[in-house]
């Protein structure tokens, strides 16, 4: 592939100061999922920081080959959690990805795939229009036929990966509108805004419904501005800077006049991005400050409930003991440092026994749209994650991120194994309403 730029351009290149903080100790390597699967130093955090430095110093070329190693990063931020020197790899890769998008050419098929992804997934209204076609595709047997023949795998492993991730489409999700304000039950304790997400609202609307019920049952008035769009997670993670900034501004404006105490999100990846608006809008003098104020109000639903406390009674959700394994989403665990709260909430439900998997902090391979862009590495990680989850003997998996849920269900399916998977907030909702799941 032709090289256009030899070095990073002058618009926010990876900071030399942040690069110099790395002492090359290598502690981060064993926790890096891309290094675990690919096994090359260049696909590790240390290797990528070394490459950024070499490009900054003019000792390596910023080209298609070096860019591949940046593309292979899942952005899981495990290295940030592990690094004893406090290296801000998150900021380094966040600066590098837009450089790749701006300066490195991609093949025609890659351009097609990325155009499709970035013009579809962050736009729930566009995605909604396709739901009836997806439903038909699944229900007339076309999807099973195509998967049986394996034609998509031959044509494009990326499209085959997208197809295998598609969850069972429910046409009831065509109408996913909620009232703009939903009253608290009993005495009002807080007025909270709620971000609906894109994939969440169309493919996991039961999670949003459960979130509303749990919040209102615990004394929260819930405000859902109908003008809200995508939180910008998907374009931000992939270096689509301008698209991410536009979406962040729109989200801030949607909540500007709502007068809420907190802004609640139930998807880990979205939550992490909502808390990063100040950085995403760094170059915008007006919205940078608004972004900082917005992010200060954002809380993951589990973080929020643990902080304010439940006022509801919880009943058992099965007639027997239920063994659950909680799957840490990277953007909760590493991105937001939230690991205890989901576990504490689950353990409050009578009859639940919580198990811990091996390699709990290792990415499942979902990583936004990584599993569509880099399907081979993602598949290997998905298999490892599912093996470790199932080895616990759990009867149910709890996961707080729609991307992880899709990846885990797909990976279980490909192994011919299937146990139920729920968001912790769905289980809490059952426990509040006294609903049994078996």
User: Footprint of ligand SF4 on this chain (CB under 6 A)?
Assistant: 22-28, 32-34, 45-46, 48-49, 73-79, 82-83, 85, 87, 89
**Least distance to ligand SF4, CB of residue 235, Å:** 18
Q: Strand, coil or helix: what is 384? A: helix
**Least distance to ligand SF4, CB of residue 109, Å:** 24
Nearer to ligand SF4, 72 or 218 (CB): 72
**Least distance to ligand SF4, CB of residue 97, Å:** 11
What token pair was written down for 203? 């493919």
**Least distance to ligand SF4, CB of residue 289, Å:** 28
Nearer to ligand SF4, 249 or 334 (CB): 334
Question: Which run of H or of E encompasses 89?
Answer: helix 89-103
Nearer to ligand SF4, 41 or 284 (CB): 41
Cα→Cα distances 429→42, 210, 213, 337, Å: 45, 6, 7, 24
**Least distance to ligand SF4, CB of residue 173, Å:** 32
| Alpha helices (H) along 256-361 | 268-274, 277-280, 285-297, 301-308, 330-333, 340-348
Nearer to ligand SF4, 51 or 208 (CB): 51
- Say if residues 399 and 330 touch (Cβ distance below 8 Å): no
Which residues touch 106 (CB under 8 Å, ≥6 apart)?
114
What token pair was written down for 206? 């039961």
**Least distance to ligand SF4, CB of residue 233, Å:** 15
Nearer to ligand SF4, 224 or 236 (CB): 236
**Least distance to ligand SF4, CB of residue 76, Å:** 4
Nearer to ligand SF4, 87 or 152 (CB): 87
Nearer to ligand SF4, 210 or 364 (CB): 364
- Say if residues 171 and 131 touch (Cβ distance below 8 Å): yes
Nearer to ligand SF4, 161 or 362 (CB): 362
Nearer to ligand SF4, 85 or 119 (CB): 85
- Say if residues 274 and 294 touch (Cβ distance below 8 Å): yes
**Least distance to ligand SF4, CB of residue 24, Å:** 5
E strands, 48-206, are 181-182, 190-194
End-to-end CA distance of the chain: 55
**Least distance to ligand SF4, CB of residue 27, Å:** 4
User: Strands across the sheet with 220-223, in order?
Assistant: 181-182, 220-223, 190-194, 262-265, 298-300
Please state, in angstroms and rounded to a whole number, the distance separating the CA atoms of residues 255 and 261: 11
What token pair was written down for 124? 């729930």
What token pair was written down for 68? 């591949």
Please state, in angstroms and rounded to a whole number, the distance separating the CA atoms of residues 35 and 19: 19
The radius of gyration of the chain's CA atoms, rounded to the nearest angstrom, is 21
């Amino acid at each position: 592939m032709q090289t256009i730029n030899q070095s990073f351009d002058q618009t926010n290149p990876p900071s030399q100061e942040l690069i110099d903080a790395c002492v090359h100790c290598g502690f981060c390597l064993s926790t890096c999922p891309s290094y675990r699967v690919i096994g090359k130093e260049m696909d590790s955090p240390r290797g990528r920081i070394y490459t950024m430095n070499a490009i900054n110093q003019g000792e390596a070329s910023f080209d298609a080959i070096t860019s591949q190693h940046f593309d292979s990063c899942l952005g899981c931020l495990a290295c940030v959690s592990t690094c004893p020197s406090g290296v801000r790899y998150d900021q380094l890769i966040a600066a590098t990805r837009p450089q790749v998008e701006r300066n490195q050419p991609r093949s025609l098929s890659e351009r097609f795939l990325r155009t499709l992804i970035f013009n579809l997934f962050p736009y729930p209204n566009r995605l909604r229009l396709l739901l009836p076609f997806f439903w038909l595709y699944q229900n007339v047997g076309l999807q099973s036929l195509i998967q049986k023949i394996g034609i998509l795998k031959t044509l494009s492993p990326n499209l085959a990966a997208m197809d295998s991730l598609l969850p069972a489409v429910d046409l009831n999700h065509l109408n996913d509108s909620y009232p703009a304000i939903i009253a608290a039950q009993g005495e009002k304790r807080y007025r909270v805004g709620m971000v609906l997400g894109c994939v969440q609202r169309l493919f996991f609307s039961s999670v949003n419904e459960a979130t509303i019920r749990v919040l209102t049952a615990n004394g929260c008035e819930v405000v859902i501005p109908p003008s809200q769009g995508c939180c910008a997670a998907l374009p931000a993670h992939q270096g689509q800077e301008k698209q991410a900034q536009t979406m962040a501004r729109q989200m801030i404006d949607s909540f500007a006049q709502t007068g809420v105490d907190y802004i609640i999100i139930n998807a880990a990846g979205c939550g992490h991005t909502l808390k990063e608006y100040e950085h995403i809008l760094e170059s915008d003098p007006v919205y940078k400050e608004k972004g900082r104020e917005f992010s200060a109000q954002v809380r993951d639903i589990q973080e929020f409930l643990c902080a304010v406390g439940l006022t509801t009674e919880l009943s058992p959700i099965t007639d027997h003991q239920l063994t659950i394994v909680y799957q840490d989403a990277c953007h909760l665990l590493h991105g937001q440092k939230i690991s205890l709260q989901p576990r504490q909430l689950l353990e409050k439900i009578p009859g639940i026994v919580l198990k811990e998997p091996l390699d709990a902090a290792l990415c499942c391979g979902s990583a936004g749209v990584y599993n569509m862009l880099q399907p081979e590495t993602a598949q290997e990680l998905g298999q490892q994650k599912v093996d470790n989850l199932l080895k616990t003997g759990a009867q149910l998996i709890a996961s707080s991120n729609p991307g992880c849920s899709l990846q885990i269900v797909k990976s279980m399916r490909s192994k011919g194994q299937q146990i139920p998977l729920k968001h912790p907030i769905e289980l809490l909702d059952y426990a509040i309403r006294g609903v049994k799941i078996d």
